[in-house]
Amino acid sequence: MKYLFLNLKRFDIPPELGGVNRLAPLGEWGGRIVAGTQEGLRAYEGEAVFADFFPEAHLLSAGAARTSDSPVQIGCQGVFREDTAVGGNFGAFTTNRPAHAAAALGCGWTIVGHCEERNDKAGILAEAGVTDPAAVCRLLNREMRCAQAAGLKVLYCIGEKSEEQDRWQQVLGQQLDIGLEGLDPAGVVIGYEPVWSIGPGKTPADKPYITKIARFVKERTGGLSVVYGGGLKTDNAAMLASIPEIDGGLIALTRFTGEIGFYPEEYLEIIRLYLGH
């Protein structure tokens, strides 16, 4: 089974406010994405799992646009490291998204550990004088435990920065060992982000490097599915599809020049190129 994930970050902001949403009015944006892709994805049922990670404001409209037999699953962009409990905390988590709230909104998935989340947590810890990356992994582990307790599946992202490349096995090994402790592996997919290669002007990770990492992750985790989190695009879909150890990818933007943004028809073309039909 392949896993094709869509991380829509903050692509809902219109261009006049610095964003890239040229697709739909804000209130219709999540539903427009689901409605614009679910029929095209039916051709791949049985071949792949499709999950879209939306900012929280769009989960309801995205969920409402799903047909009863939609191939599109809905996910949220992270959960809090604590949750509600019957007879316990009833929701005193201002600004935070507990996993049970995500489940109540219709989510079946969440993404945890994306490099942007790791950077955010590391920055907060650094303000308190804590610079140990293991502390970040422990916080992410708590989030994933809450996610699984609420019935959510997890895309757990790992990756090394440029200054960590010479010790990538240690860095990724720690992220896996601490992050996955106590989790049900059946509910986890690993997303590999080569952080050192992501962004304008950087050299993308090549096939040998991605293959090397995917083999390492599978060996370390006992065979968990691994998807490429550095951006599945039209220009690397065929290459990634040719790596047996890679089980899918994480898509974000579909257009990187001109009217930059996410467009459903371009997303479906990426899927077609990756799955081969």
Question: Which of the following is catalytic: 117, 143, 160, 193?
Answer: 193
* Virtual torsion, Cα 39, 40, 43, 47, nearest 10 deg: -100
- The total of other beta-carbon atoms located within 10 Å of residue 191's CB is 28
Q: How far is CA 97 from CA 84, 102, 220, in A?
A: 10, 7, 30
Q: Any catalytic annotation for residue 193?
A: yes
> Active-site residue among 58, 114, 117, 143?
114
User: CA-CA distance, 178 to 144, in Å (whole number)?
Assistant: 11
Q: Do the Cβ atoms of 113 and 140 come closer than 8 Å?
A: yes
Closest CA to 182 of 149, 150, 226: 149
**Rounded CA Rg of the chain:** 18
Whether the CB-CB separation of 66 and 58 falls below 8 Å is answered with no
What does each C-alpha distance from 164 to 81, 207, 216 come to in angstroms?
27, 19, 16
Q: Is 114 one of the annotated active-site residues of the chain?
A: yes
Q: How far apart are CA 138 and CA 202, in angstroms?
A: 30
Q: Which active-site residues does the annotation give?
A: 114, 193
